[in-house]
Amino acid sequence: MAKTLMGLCMGLLIVSMAHAAIEVFPFADDQQRDRFQHLTELLRCPKCQNQTIGGSNSPIAQDMREQLFTLLQQGHSDQEVIDYMKARFGDYVVYQPPMRKDTWVLWWLPPLALLAGAIIILGLVWHKRRQSNAAAEVTSSPHEAQRAARLQQVLDRYADDKDIPS
């Protein structure tokens, strides 16, 4: 009995949750609907920690969706809509931070770190290569070549006279 009741409650919860997310907007055309959906994914709900206004059921997200629809109906461009929301709710409302003096670290640190990493790796490779080149030069010195030739001679002779006792 308790189980049935619990199931029923859960069911009702799911139904009410699904219901809350459904809103009907009479879009002018498919293009406007696509723009609306795109913008609801671009704009962040100011009340929530990390949800788009499209993914949140908070009252402010709902207000923002309705205002977004109104602005699109009035013929505002995507950028105008974003600026409109930014003017009210701040930079927080978009996921992409603005490029400003106080945000340059955010923008430039990753590429700079990548560049530094590339320089270090190139430096290491260059260092290694120089080392192995130097080693190769040692083996190809005249003295070393003579020794190699003599060794080869000894080996050849050994191969010819197999019956020489070792």
Judged by the rule CB under 8 A, the positions of this chain that interact with another protein are: 46-47, 49, 59-60, 63, 66-67, 86-92
Nearest distance from residue 150's CB to another protein, in Å? 40
* Residue 1 or 24 having the CB closest to another protein: 24
CA distances to 8, 137, 143, 154 from 151, in Å? 91, 19, 13, 5
Which DSSP helix (H) or strand (E) runs through 44?
none
Nearer to another protein, 21 or 124 (CB): 124
Give 74 or 166: the residue with its C-beta nearer to another protein: 74
Residue placing its CB nearer to another protein in the complex, 42 or 89: 89
Provide the total of helices (H) and of strands (E) in the chain, helices listed first: 6, 0
CA 106 to chain centre: 14
The Cα–Cα gap between 67 and 80 comes to 13
Spatial contact of 72 and 47, defined as CB atoms under 8 Å apart = no
Q: Report in angstroms how near the CB of residue 74 gets to another protein at its nearest.
A: 13
The CB-of-65 to another protein minimum distance in angstroms stands at 11
Dump strand ranges (E) for 45-159: none
**Residue 35 C-beta: closest distance to another protein, Å:** 20
